[in-house]
Amino acid sequence: MSILGVDVGGTFTDAVLVEDGWVSTAKVPTAARQEESVLAAAHAVGAGELERFTHGTTVATNALLERKGAKTAFVGTAGFAHLLHLRRQARAHLYRLCEDHPAPLVPLERCYEVDERIGPDGVLRPLDLESLPEIDAEAVAVGLLFSFQDGRHEKAVADELRKRLPGARVVASHELAPEFREYERASTTAIDAYLGPALAGYLEALAARCAEEGLPEPLVMRSSGGVATIAEAAAHPAFALLSGPAAGAVGAALAAREAGVRDAVSLDMGGTSTDVALIRDGEVERSAERSVSGYPVRLPSVDIQTVGAGGGSIAWRDQGGALRVGPESAGAFPGPACYGRGGTRPTVTDANLVLGRLPETLAGGLRLDRVAAERALGDLDPEAVVRAVNAEMVRALRLVSVERGHDPRGLTLVAFGGAGPLHACELADELELRSVLVPESAGVLSALGLAASDERRDFVRSYLVRLGEAGELPAEGEADLRYAGQSFELTVPLGPEVATAFHRAHEERYGYADPSRPIELVAVRTAEVTSGPTIERRPTPLTEVSGPDVLELDTATCWLPPGWVGVRDGKGAGWRLTRS
């Protein structure tokens, strides 16, 4: 059985080929056209006859971050056309009073309304399709009040728009995110419509190139950590917003389980950014909503926090003279100065090279130029550059551990990505983590996560009733619950003791529980999961190394500081690093 996983990063594109359970890897520089990078990585790893091809993409993420989506319109209930501009009345940043929210993806002049109104108990005002104005747009998002509960009006509006605008992409909120909270639902629907043409165009181009090269049509990683077909991914791009980072979290959970670790925090440091996620009981945690570039997305996703700190992040001084790192990155071209491709600005990779933490040749055969790195750094202290980028990553690690009520001292840090193992021990020292796990395939772990990922489709049903009045619930899945009168809910596993689980979760999160208070069921979340393939590991030599030392892995480099000991387990799972 041959399985290919290809992950496109900001600097490198990684490929993992699994044949009869054994793993081969390759890295190629990321090109401007992602489909070219995918094919180049597939050739580099020697992909031939494949039974499964999985892919993680950043096309949707980049289109949102760079505001390069479609000309989009929004249609709402009469009197509520400006939902995207009203948003929630909260500051963009708690301590920056003048910082503004990002501009909505749909400008005011393309926000329209239709005469209709549905309430919690049914139709309050019949739908008048004649009130729907003429719309000129490449994509249209439809978000009517209470459509999560009764989608008839919204469906009729969407059908009418598809007749009027046969070439446009029309997305109705009840098709995508049938949940209450109208602003979050509208935001999610607008993002999905906005990104549709960009992702669909890329996936069509990729499928065509794969067919030309004799490769099967790839499955695409979703934000929730499972893969879906190209048609499913193109139908709703918002599900693939965190495609690449989700693959890394899935790979980290797999590596942790293989090493016998149940509770961990993952650190995926690439060339442009670092993604961190919490792993509990061998599985990466998921959330029902997250913010991407300041826009709420109400869809299931792996619970990842991202900071603009990677190996290619540029070091600079602000107006006050303080040393800063990122979020701007040197990317793949020209890349860090030490790559010898014309880069002149100092990066984290240059600092690590000058400090002696990198070999002369990186995984993938790239020779590094120490003189160019020293020239780029100039008067910047390389140790200060490393401390600055570490501080950025520590903040993200605290966010998914300490600030969520988890004691990091009981967690293992799973470090991967091209640069993660270089910084792992120092980060573990800062947070008092008990140990560090560096998987054998650390530099391509996201691609390995793609190859081993499950097929997953998530579903949600809104209730908004007292728990005792909800009727029979699914045996498996999760429930969003809250005490009656509360504004926000907690998610707990379904089961016969779901109420007890909620009281316990409430006490853990807020410090108290009230078993006498009625519980309200907000939503039930379920998933259809088809397990991914099993991956075997080649045995490796049992090795023990004491720091300071540089561990050269096949696809990454690990820095072992003084006072640390690294033990290679011999079973192929990787290196366990601990304080001596």
> Domain coordinates of the chain in residue numbers?
72-197, 259-454+534-580, 458-530
How high is the mean pLDDT of the chain? Answer: 90
Q: Which of 149-153, 530-534, 576-580 has the lowest mean pLDDT?
A: 530-534
Find, among 253, 301, 254, 244, the residue nearest to 275 by Cα. Answer: 244
Distance CA 227, CA 530 (A): 10
> Is residue 282 exposed (0-12), middle (13-18) or buried (19+ Cβ within 10 Å)?
middle
pTM as predicted: 0.86
Q: 3-state DSSP call for residue 287?
A: strand
pLDDT band at 26 (very low <50, low <70, confident <90, very high): confident
Q: How far apart are CA 81 and CA 102, in angstroms?
A: 18
Distance CA 342, CA 337 (A): 7
User: Mind listing the pLDDT tens digit for each residue in 155-186?
Assistant: 999 999 999 999 999 999 999 999 989 999 99
Among 47-51, 320-324, 462-466, 513-517, name the one with the lowest average pLDDT.
47-51
Per residue in 409-437, pLDDT (tens digit) is 889 999 998 889 999 999 999 999 989 99
Per the CB < 8 A criterion, the answer to whether 566 and 576 are in contact is: yes
Residues facing residue 268 across a β-bridge: 275, 416
In this model, does residue 265 exceed pLDDT 90? yes
Least confident of 158-162, 186-190, 475-479: 475-479
519-530, strands of its sheet edge to edge: 22-29, 12-19, 2-8, 52-56, 219-221, 227-228, 455-466, 519-530, 478-483, 490-493
Query: Above 80 in pLDDT, residue 497?
Result: yes
Helices of type H across 34-124: 34-44, 59-65, 83-86
Looking up tokens 């919690």 gives: 120
Secondary structure of 48-70 in HEC code, one letter for each residue = CCCCEEEEECCHHHHHHHCCCCC
d(CA 25, CA 40): 13
**pLDDT tens, 368-417?**
999 999 999 999 999 999 999 999 999 999 988 888 778 888 899 999 98
Structure tokens at 142: 């439809």
CA-based nearest residue to 16, from 474, 446, 393, 552: 446
- DSSP label of 294: T
C-alpha span between 518 and 550 (Å, rounded): 58
Q: How many Cβ atoms from other residues are within 10 Å of residue 482's Cβ?
A: 17
% of the chain with per-residue pLDDT over 90: 55
pLDDT digits (tens, 9 = 90+) for 29-68: 888 788 899 999 999 888 878 888 999 888 888 788 778 8
Gyration radius of the chain over CA positions? 24
- Band (pLDDT 50/70/90 cuts) for residue 1 is low
Gap between the Cα atoms of 254 and 530, Å rounded = 16
- In b/e form, how buried is each residue of 177-215, taking b as 16+ CB within 10 angstroms? bbbbbbbbbbbbbbbbbbbbbbbbebbeebbebbeeeeb
- Which burial class, exposed, middle or buried, applies to 468 when counting CB atoms under 10 A from its CB (0-12, 13-18, 19+)? exposed
Q: Rounded CA gap, 336 and 73, in Å?
A: 41
Q: How far is CA 458 from CA 102, 239, 562, in A?
A: 29, 10, 46
- Helix (H, G, I), strand (E, B), or coil: what is residue 347? strand
Which tokens sit at 196? 């549709």
Q: Are strands 564-568 and 543-546 parallel, antiparallel or unpaired?
A: antiparallel
